[in-house]
Structure 1
């Protein structure tokens, strides 16, 4: 398992947290989203999903990865 912390720009409410969480999970990873810090801690199996796929899933929800 790989672990990475991504800085996510544009989150401002609980709905944003839910959207990012859902995007990470649908990409095939697990994550813990922290609204206060604007970060998401992601754990994923690099044999099943790439970090780029996770980043794209979050960006498709309208958020930027810094």
Structure 2
């Protein structure tokens, strides 16, 4: 029995059992296009807005606490 190699693709068995194991196809090209850039910019805007809202909420909580005491 051969040693386990995590870098080698596992054999893919065909359900009908008529053919032997075949290698999995290589990974596709993962190049980024304009949609990836647009999605990254949207995530940046949403993340920045979320951080700003959290900062503002902390300041409002501090103000309310200060006024209550």
Taking structure 1 as the reference length, what is the TM-score of the superposition?
0.27
Structure holding more strand per residue: 1
Larger of the two Rg values belongs to structure: 2
Structure holding more helix per residue: 2
